[in-house]
Amino acid sequence: MTLTSLVAWIAAAITFGTVIMYGSVGEILTEKSGNLNLGVPGIMYLGAIGSLAGCFFYENGNPAPNPWISACIAVVCALTAALLGGLLYSFMTVTLRANQNVTGLTLTIFGGGVANFFGGSLVKLSGGVGQISVAAASSAIRTRIPFLSDHFGIVSDLLFSYGFFTYLAVVIALAANYFLTRTRYGLNLRAVGENPATADAAGISVTKYKYLATCTGAMIEGLGGMYFVMDYIKGTWDSGGALEALGWLAVALVIFTSWKPKNAVWGAYLFGFCYWIYLYIPSGISAVLAKFFGAANVTHMQNLYRMIPYLVTIIVLIIVSKKKRKENQNPASLGISYFREER
Amino acid sequence: MKDSTAVRMDRVTKRFGSVVANDAVSMNIHYGEILSILGENGSGKTTLMNMLAGIYYPDEGDIYVNGRQVTITSPHDAYELGIGMIHQHYKLVDVFTAAENIILGLDSDKITYSLDEVNKKVEEICRQYGFDIDPKAKVYEMSVAQKQTLEIVKILYRGADILILDEPTAVLTPQETEKLFDILRAMRSDGKAIVLITHKLNEVLELSDRVTILRKGKYITTIPTPVATEQILTEAMVGEKVTLDIDRPMPENTVKRLSVKNLTVYSEDGIKALDDVSFDAYGGEILGIAGISGCGQKELLEAIAGLQVTDKNTSIIYYDKDGSEKQLIGVSPREIRNYGVHLSFVPEDRLGMGLVASLGMTENMMLKDYDKGASPFLNKSDSAKLAEDVKKELDIATPSLETPVRRLSGGNVQKVLVGREIAAEPTILMTAYAVRGLDINKSYTIYNLLTEQKMKGVAVIYVGEDLDVLLALADRIMVLCSGHENGILDARTVTKEEVGRRMTNLTEEK
Amino acid sequence: MKDSKYEAPKSSVKEPLVHIVKRSDIEPWKAWGIRIAAVLLGMLVSALFINGITNLNPAAVFKSMFAGAFGTDKRIWQTLKDMSLLLCIGIGLAPAFKLRFWNVGAEGQVLIGGLVSAALMINLGGKIPNGVLLILMALCAVVCGAVWGLIPAYFKSKYRTNETLFTLMMNYIALQLVEFYVDVWDKKQSHSVGVINASSKAGWMPYIGGNQFILMIIIVALITVGMYFYLQNSKQGFEITVVGESENTARYAGISVSKVIRRTMLVSAGICGLAGFLEVSAVSHTISSLTAGGRGFTAIIVAWLGKFNPFAMTLITAILAFMSRGANQIASDFNFNKFASNILTGIILFFILGSEFFINYRLVFRHRPKEVK
């Protein structure tokens, strides 16, 4: 493997990882409040379509759109759409005490439906598949750090060849980590997820924390959706379900990080590395494996290599459940609605 | 100088459905004193104090704190009034450190927190009252006594002046209890108001200044401790001996059915729930088990039924009708049941075990023998017939045999459970709290059923709460006290006070 | 600051206005009344949504949807086909969910069932009698689907490994397997296998009276009725009820919880595997990553909302099939894409889901009696 392809692999892993890093950091915050939100793919979809639609209407109605205004519209619309998704989930599970898993799955169906419906319509409006483009916003969001990104050869390629939302993801992950481990509100939030009755007895409003954590988490997930549209696929739309798959990987990554946002940083990149591995496994190995699996064409093996992130998640899941270390487990009351008068 | 009255409760009533947990209770709590609230299980002590702590909200009556009428709707309100309660089940987050638990939920201007500051203040409190606690330890690594200390420190840290402790010594060793008492005394001389919910007479006498007695949800009296004696307190607590008209024939042709030796069971927290208990049970008699609830009754019955892990020295021998002896330790619950040992256990939440709440009588009848026969399908007609019989015989009120048992009243649920166990023609019949929540007439139905079984030669083990009933129904009474066997007595001759005393005080010779 | 704690906190002077109380029970007619009201409300909101994007008035929306779902014989059969495919998966999930085992892996189990069926069609088609082939396909689909479900069940019963995420990950592994074999079988480098045995129709489920779907619908109907009796009348169904209700009671009754988990997942995932077989053999005659098509997720909600009662589930799938066919009609009338149906499905499900609150709880407006006796 050449150095160039390794650098390309790492760069691809980082872009991929950023999408799921947003998703999983948002979901960690949500789960720390005891809400297991399986609606992450749906919320990321909402964020994605929110940003795309907002920019589309701005850029299409404007002969010379300002990229930075368009980028701001993308962010605001993504946050708003995702927030609505988070509110819906919170209302259903916290106020109406609906089952969290079922609500989350419904939100995924609904969010995916909304996004692909409007996404498809936008594609049609702009003249067919691949035609939609919100170039201004996308280019603004993919703006690289000046100077650093082109003066240091391979270091620039490795570290500074990304849009600034790539770095924001890391900042948010570390900030979330700081929030959870160092601040009073983080402490209170963790208590709500671990033992809501205790938190309640300590005078913490369980409902408020669950709402806030879930909605904030949803907004972070929404940024992931926006990043997907604006950076990962460069201001177009994809109706093929790729974002849903990424959303589920984000949920899986939460377990991989043992609910610590700082682990999501390297975990997400590792997942990205695993995800793109299929392009970089030496063809010699692939040829041997292809023979073993009866594949006529070596490239067919890529399909199997793409299982790797999921297999890794399962293995981690089993190891974690076998070890049973308290600090690495999910919040103790995850998935359970809280009702004070229920014994 | 403030008025020494900390709390005044005025005709406070709390109902749970049709059950009146507290019936117009009025009482006072003073600063600078330790007040005991004494009563049997179900006398409403904890419920009353929970209303001060913001867990429950009273249906009627008024509460005054420091002379002002207050409304306490949440634990947060209680904290702001300076009231802190230490519940029997600790309110701690397991994966947090002691310090993190202490500052949980506290209002502060600062967003971040400095554990160093907390540690310093905690150390200060510890020095003042003589606590020993490591602020950096995780809760799940702590012993029960340490957790309790943490709860107290937590409340003091919040500046509470009124402390309520619910059965604080239930889980402590004698040494730990002594230490706790010293701390409580120190806090009293510091001017704090301390309420101790308990049913242990010796603690009341040793520690408190006044004692308020509740019985069956009603306020009975308040006595200054110096004039109280064990006798006065017991009588006030258990009430006059009520003569019950339970028919109790003398046992005939008793045969040994069960021999329990050195039964030791550890609870999940690693505490001994049962400590070296030995006894025999005979066919043709009713063995009553007396004790404050949570003293090992549940574990005792479950151990016999094969549902508990027992210590290795334990032996439980079952004497079969054909004269053979069978060791029950290590035998599956299903096999034990096939021997004829039947457990009709009514746990705290009646439907948690023994019955399937969402199913009707018919299907609950077959819970234990649904798998008999080779057919892959259930034989519903047999159990429907059985359900019909049980329903008729025990006069169970249910709209239909298919109505989920969760919809039946408590008494009827009990009858379904006991009816099923009796219908299985057991050789040993164990029941726990079989009449809990039943009115007097329905209770008699159950008593008569059990006596009938006894006369058929069944060994009946009856765990009860009401001493009057135990004394009138059982032939022998084994008293459990904190997991120890504290005497096996002849129910026909022993006095109620004697049983009550053994329930609360471990006799020295043990 | 210090003294303020002796004053009644402001927040607590007011008494709580609304108080939520858990209902001990509710009459079945009331519960169903609430659910029906929820469905109607959901339909109304759906109609308003469509109104918003098409300007059709709600009555016209329903007319159009009705035409889409039931307008012609062909459409009726399409609707019935949609319904029975979804129902089949839902029926498969019912025992698992009744056990409180979160089998989110139906997608994967369906895919594996379909993959095995397609493999047999491709490799044995024409080499053995068609009847034998069909039976073999069905059997292998059931077995492979069941094994796919047994893996997470094994770890759940042994280490209590979280089955929700495990089964979810298994979906993607199944998906990659399918994509792999699609590529392997695809001779034209087109990323699709096309219609399998298009001329010989080997492994195709026979048409009855010229109708493609009747046999499949009959099979699903039989499974539905069978599942009803399995859950209601069989010993295994009884064990599922007891374990799902309370593991303590199960222990008391001498039921082995881990055995029941494993066995139930074999049944559950086996039926999902069969659904994959039906999809391949009776409907699409091909295999692709879209074979499960999200039905594995929707079916979870069907099973949950139907309270694991196969007949209630039939009703819900009927509503969903109607909504989705109807939405597709509107989409094609107005040149929209097919995702409109997911939006409507979501809306209806949110309403049914939310209605459970009013079945389980009631609101009490508190007014405290102040009388002095």
Chain C residue with CA closest to B372: the answer is C235
Please write the tens of the pLDDT for every residue from B352-371.
567 888 888 998 888 888 88
Q: Are C287 and C182 in contact (CB under 8 A)?
A: yes
**Which positions in chain B touch C252 (Cβ < 8 Å)?**
305, 307, 333, 343, 345, 353-354
d(CA B507, CA B487): 8
d(CA C174, CA C186): 18
Please write the tens of the pLDDT for every residue from B104-129.
888 777 788 888 888 888 888 888 88
Give the pLDDT confidence score for residue A170 in this predicted structure.
96
Give the pLDDT confidence score for residue A185 in this predicted structure.
92
Within-domain flag for A339: no
The first and second tokens of residue C204, run together, are: 């195709």
The top-scoring range by mean pLDDT among A59-68, B41-50, C118-127 is: C118-127
**Which positions in chain B touch C238 (Cβ < 8 Å)?**
363, 366, 370, 378
d(CA B111, CA A184): 6
Residue C183, class by beta-carbon neighbours within 10 Å (0-12 exposed, 13-18 middle, 19+ buried)?
A: buried
Closest Cα in chain A, distance from residue B373 (Å): 39
Within-domain flag for A172: yes
Question: Helix count (H) and strand count (E) of chain C?
Answer: 14, 2
Q: Residues with Cβ < 8 Å from C353, sequence gap 6 or more?
A: A92, A96, A98, A99, A102, A103, A106, C301, C305
Please write the tens of the pLDDT for every residue from A240-288.
888 998 999 899 889 888 899 999 999 999 999 988 888 888 878 888 8
Structural domain spans, chain C: 85-303
Higher pLDDT, residue B33 or A313: B33
Asked if C12 and B380 come within 8 Å (Cβ–Cβ), the reply is no
pLDDT by position in tens, chain C (length 373): 333 333 333 333 445 567 677 776 677 788 888 988 999 999 899 888 888 888 888 888 888 889 988 989 899 999 999 999 999 999 999 999 999 898 999 999 999 999 999 999 999 988 999 999 999 999 999 999 999 999 999 999 998 888 888 998 999 999 999 999 998 888 777 778 889 998 888 889 898 888 889 999 999 999 999 999 999 989 999 999 999 988 888 888 888 899 999 999 999 999 999 999 999 999 999 999 888 888 999 999 899 888 889 999 999 999 999 988 988 888 888 877 888 888 988 999 999 999 988 888 887 775 554 433 3
Quick one: which of C64, C40, C87 has its CA closest to C272? C87
Query: At residue A341, does pLDDT exceed 70?
Result: no
Query: At residue A296, does pLDDT exceed 90?
Result: no
d(CA A73, CA A81): 12
The alpha carbon of B361 is separated from its chain's Cα centroid by a whole number of angstroms, namely 28
The first and second tokens of residue C62, run together, are: 């329903």
B421 close contact with C: CB closer than 8 A: no
Within-domain flag for A336: no
Please name the member of C173, C297, C350 whose beta carbon is closest to the beta carbon of A311. C173
d(CA A9, CA A16): 10
Give the pLDDT confidence score for residue C373 in this predicted structure.
34
Q: Where does residue B17 fall: left (phi above 0), alpha (psi -120 to 50 degrees), or beta otherwise?
A: left
Give the pLDDT confidence score for residue A203 in this predicted structure.
81
Q: Which chains touch A (3 or more CB pairs under 8 A)?
A: B, C
Give the pLDDT confidence score for residue B90 in this predicted structure.
84
Closest Cα in chain B, distance from residue C47 (Å): 37
**CB crowding A287-317: b at 16 or more within 10 Å, else e:** eebbeeeebeebebbbbbbbbbbbebbbebb
Within-domain flag for A161: yes
d(CA A82, CA A105): 16
DSSP H or E stretch at residue B165: strand B162-166
Chain C residue with CA closest to A252: the answer is C165
**Which positions in chain A touch B95 (Cβ < 8 Å)?**
194, 326-327, 332
Choose from C2, C3, C5, C267 for mutation: most chain B CBs within 10 A: C5
Asked if C342 and A110 come within 8 Å (Cβ–Cβ), the reply is yes
Within-domain flag for A107: yes
Mean pLDDT of B128-153: 86
What DSSP designation does A92 have?
A: I
Asked if C173 and A307 come within 8 Å (Cβ–Cβ), the reply is yes
ipTM: 0.88
DSSP H or E stretch at residue C21: strand C18-22
Count A/B contacts: CB-CB distance under 8 Å: 69
Chain A residue with CA closest to C294: the answer is A109
Quick one: which of B200, B275, B245 has its CA closest to B510? B275
Give the pLDDT confidence score for residue C372 in this predicted structure.
37
A152 close contact with B: CB closer than 8 A: no
DSSP H or E stretch at residue A103: helix A100-125
Task: Supply the mean pLDDT for chain A.
Answer: 88
**CB crowding B235-267: b at 16 or more within 10 Å, else e:** bbbbeeeeebebebeebeebeebbebebbbbbb
Task: Supply the mean pLDDT for chain B.
Answer: 84
Domains and their CATH numbers in chain B = 5-238 (3.40.50.300), 254-340+428-435+460-510 (3.40.50.300)
Give the pLDDT confidence score for residue B164 in this predicted structure.
94
Give the pLDDT confidence score for residue A115 in this predicted structure.
94
Asked if B94 and A190 come within 8 Å (Cβ–Cβ), the reply is no
The top-scoring range by mean pLDDT among A62-76, B326-340, C54-68, C218-232 is: C218-232
**The CA-based dihedral angle spanning residues C35, C40, C46, C49, taken in that order and rounded to the nearest 10 degrees:** -120
Mean pLDDT of A298-311: 86
Quick one: which of B181, B177, B172, B152 has its CA closest to B86? B152
Within-domain flag for A151: yes
Domain that holds residue A222: 3-328
- As for how many domains chain A has, the answer is 1
pLDDT confidence bin for A179, thresholds 50/70/90: very high
Report percent pLDDT > 70 for chain A. 96
Quickly count: other Cβ atoms within 10 Å of residue B99's Cβ: 25
Give the pLDDT confidence score for residue A86 in this predicted structure.
97
Asked if B105 and A185 come within 8 Å (Cβ–Cβ), the reply is no
Count B/C contacts: CB-CB distance under 8 Å: 103
Asked if C173 and A99 come within 8 Å (Cβ–Cβ), the reply is no
Chain B residue with CA closest to C14: the answer is B71
Give the pLDDT confidence score for residue A217 in this predicted structure.
97
Quickly count: other Cβ atoms within 10 Å of residue C30's Cβ: 13
The first and second tokens of residue C160, run together, are: 């209590």
Quick one: which of B105, B80, B77 has its CA closest to B93? B105
Give the pLDDT confidence score for residue B321 in this predicted structure.
81
Mean pLDDT of B241-252: 77
Within-domain flag for A187: yes
Quickly count: other Cβ atoms within 10 Å of residue C255's Cβ: 21
Please write the tens of the pLDDT for every residue from A28-58.
999 999 999 999 999 999 999 999 999 988 8
Asked if B75 and A201 come within 8 Å (Cβ–Cβ), the reply is yes
Within-domain flag for A217: yes
CATH code at position A186: 1.10.3470
Quick one: which of B129, B127, B137 has its CA closest to B99? B137
Please write the tens of the pLDDT for every residue from B167-219.
888 767 777 888 889 989 999 999 999 999 987 777 888 899 999 999 888 99
Asked if A117 and C343 come within 8 Å (Cβ–Cβ), the reply is yes
Please tell me whether the overall predicted TM-score, pTM, comes out greater than 0.90 for this model. Answer: no
Mean pLDDT of A105-127: 88
Please write the tens of the pLDDT for every residue from B479-499.
998 888 888 999 899 888 788
